[in-house]
Structure 1
């Protein structure tokens, strides 16, 4: 069978693994570790997180990640990231094009949050899912 003919069965297998993992609460190996993860993977994961946050937020303005405070990962059927980030409200409105270089608010609209999130990813197929997220106002400079 040609490689092209294997594409659909492999995709179906991946979907089955992801669905079964979700149903069976995913077997974890070794727990969360604070170790250096691939910069590319963590950047992609944070990009997914901030897009998800902005899509779910009722705020008029976009937020962006200001600082990665902590990152832990564990292997399962994919990679689970437990991240704590500081995010800030930008001057760009949601109706405008999303731009990572939007400047942060510095006026009375300035707002920062500390968010802790659990994100499941299968990076080799560009699959991401936000499993849990909790954000609180940042009153303390971190």
Structure 2
């Protein structure tokens, strides 16, 4: 009886370990197409949700990860405030503000991508001014 309980307990622990490995985040290339699209979506969503009238653009990707067996991406981004309004066309080529209007923000985003439908959902975001 003790052997059966020990074996059962061992299997439960092993299954828990295997299950947690499958759902952890792993580092990925910053150049993977769906990750790049997820970054663009996160920056767009930040600009849409932000009350600031000026647009922010991507300065640096600090972390690029994907949850195993999913299309959920975790990213840490640095963004800078531009001189362009947030609904202008070419924000990527817009210069950053200098002087009193200069502002940078660091954000962590969790984005769920559905590649077949090219649909993205922002699951979570946390931002702090730098």
TM-score norm. by structure 1 comes to 0.70
Alignment correspondent of 1:119: 111
Q: CA deviation at 1:74?
A: 1.1
Q: Deviations over 1:43-97 (max 9, x none)?
A: 1111100110001000010001100001111144x41111001011001012433
Q: When the two structures are aligned, how many residues end up with a matched partner? A: 111
Instruction: Select 2:41's aligned residue among 44, 48, 51.
Output: 48
- In the aligned structure 2, how far is the partner of 1:109 from the partner of 1:135? 18
Alignment correspondent of 1:8: none
Higher helix share: 2
Q: 1:95 to 1:116 in 2, by over 3 A?
A: closer
Structure 1: runs of 5+ lacking an equivalent: 1-26
Q: 1:35 to 1:43 in 2, by over 3 A?
A: closer
Structure 2: runs of 5+ lacking an equivalent: 1-18
Instruction: Select 1:68's aligned residue among 58, 61, 66.
Output: 61
Alignment correspondent of 2:120: 128
Asked which structure has the greater CA Rg, the reply is 2
Between 45-54 and 99-108, report the one with greater CA deviation: 99-108
Q: Secondary structure at the match of 2:110?
A: strand
- In the aligned structure 2, how far is the partner of 1:37 from the partner of 1:113? 19
Alignment correspondent of 2:76: 84
Q: CA deviation at 1:101?
A: 1.1
